[in-house]
Amino acid sequence: MPPTLDNSSDPQPTFSVGSTTSEPSLTDQVKRFKPRKFKEKRETLLSKDPSQNNPSHEKLSLKCIKVIVSNFDKNPSHSGIPASHVREITSRLPINLDPKKSAVYVHDESYWKRACLQSLSPSECQIVEHGLTWKQLFFENHLQKRLEGFKDGDDIEVLLEEIEKFQDYIFCLRFRQMPGHIDLDRLTASLPNLTKIDLQYNINKIGMDFDRRLFGMKISDASCLAKSVKDSENLTSIVLSGNLMDDDLLRMLMTGLYKSSTITHLDVSHNKITNHGVRLLAKLLGTKSVLTSLNVADNQIHAEGGRYLGRALRSNDSLSDLNMRLNRLTDEGGRMLLEGLRDNQSVTRLNVSGNSLGSESTSALSVVLREQDSELMILDLSSNRLSDADVQVLSATMERNDRLISMDMRMNSTTDGNEDLEKIQEKLHYNELNLRS
């Protein structure tokens, strides 16, 4: 802590010159700062409330509110109650109401904030990821928990009936385990606002009951998902990270993806996709493609896959973010991918770390970076096999490039204290400053 802040505890801190002017210096502002006290307004109200001592002094409206609150579960209604009292009622409602009823009758965000903060862990309360509304946060978490607890024998109709009550508040379908392998098609059909699907077919905390077959996506799941993707009109983002997905599953999924014109974000990282799978994915990147972000990190893609992608990127003008981290592209595959990038004017972010790239890829990359039209801004080349000579080539290239602002070259086979590396970093910094101004 700085010494200035320590003084803030003093009753009369000594201010510097100019403290009385209308715009005091920052240190004075810091000294004057007092943390706001967040008192529970309702608590103070209740403590002063005479009704606690004598129930007969209680206001009739307060009594009514109490009765409504206690019977809200049985008879939920807001009609005919003034707005001020509605607020009072929602502030008094217990958070363990039946979600089916509260979804329809409770609209006050403060109630949902209360419910989320008390029932969910802090890591789950990321309101930014849920459209900045607590109600959406609550119900998306609620649905996730219901789905993760869905067993094989459970009745899907009961679940669908429940979902119908709060279907308007679900924008993101997400689960981290799925023991029941639910029919996704029916599920998504009942969610009109769905824009994002984030699925992981795993079993958490399985302990000694481990079975290899319990993990990963199944053919039926893939076909259901493909169908729901095909039918949906709002879906823009699909995340299928870590699902042990192989080429066959991907092919099944592709039957849906080909026919969708809304998916802009596709994440199939941490799967078992090989060159064949990449060939399928490359078809998604045709001229009519709307895909802007593709993540195939940590798969088993070899040089051949790099060629497919490079060929697809030549004619593509939508993809801006490509992640190929931790694959087996090798130097040849990297070259073919980067050669494809030469004619491309949309990719701004490229991650090819951990792909054993070498001098061939470097020369291809330098060609790309020399292009005036190149939009590439962020590049990750870490954990490859770039030598000092390669770095020198890149450094020479970078002198004429004004777009690139970040290039990660760590963990390559370069010697420490390479001057070319520093030159590159300096140029990148300069580019970044230019971009900001």
* Residue choice 12, 26, 41, 55 for contact with other proteins (CB under 8 A): 26
402 is a site residue for other proteins (CB under 8 A): no
126 is a site residue for other proteins (CB under 8 A): no
Supply the minimum distance, in Å, between the C-beta of residue 335 and other proteins. 18
* Residue choice 57, 63, 259, 410 for contact with other proteins (CB under 8 A): 410
How, if at all, do strands 237-239 and 406-408 pair?
unpaired
241 is a site residue for other proteins (CB under 8 A): no
Supply the minimum distance, in Å, between the C-beta of residue 32 and other proteins. 15
Supply the minimum distance, in Å, between the C-beta of residue 430 and other proteins. 8
Beta bridge partners of 198: 174, 239
Supply the minimum distance, in Å, between the C-beta of residue 243 and other proteins. 19
**Residues 309 and 283 sit within 8 Å (Cβ to Cβ):** no
Supply the minimum distance, in Å, between the C-beta of residue 353 and other proteins. 6
- Tell me, residue by residue from 355 to 384, as one string, x for binding to other proteins by CB under 8 A and - for no binding: xx-------------------------xx-
Nearer of residues 42 and 429 to other proteins, judged by Cβ: 429
Supply the minimum distance, in Å, between the C-beta of residue 26 and other proteins. 6
Q: How far apart are CA 212 and CA 299, in angstroms?
A: 19
349 is a site residue for other proteins (CB under 8 A): no
Supply the minimum distance, in Å, between the C-beta of residue 2 and other proteins. 4
Nearer of residues 265 and 423 to other proteins, judged by Cβ: 423
Q: How many positions of this chain bind other proteins (CB under 8 A)?
A: 25
269 is a site residue for other proteins (CB under 8 A): no
Q: Cα 161 to chain center, whole Å? A: 28
* Residue choice 14, 17, 22, 36 for contact with other proteins (CB under 8 A): 17
Nearer of residues 187 and 405 to other proteins, judged by Cβ: 405
Nearer of residues 317 and 422 to other proteins, judged by Cβ: 422
Nearer of residues 66 and 302 to other proteins, judged by Cβ: 302
Nearer of residues 26 and 208 to other proteins, judged by Cβ: 26
- Tell me, residue by residue from 299 to 338, as one string, x for binding to other proteins by CB under 8 A and - for no binding: --------------------------xx-x----------
Please state the φ and ψ torsions of residue 103, each to the nearest 5 degrees: -60, -35
Q: How far apart are CA 94 and CA 342, in angstroms?
A: 61
Residues that bind other proteins (CB under 8 A): 2, 4, 16-18, 25-27, 325-326, 328, 353-356, 382-383, 408, 410-411, 422-423, 426, 433, 437
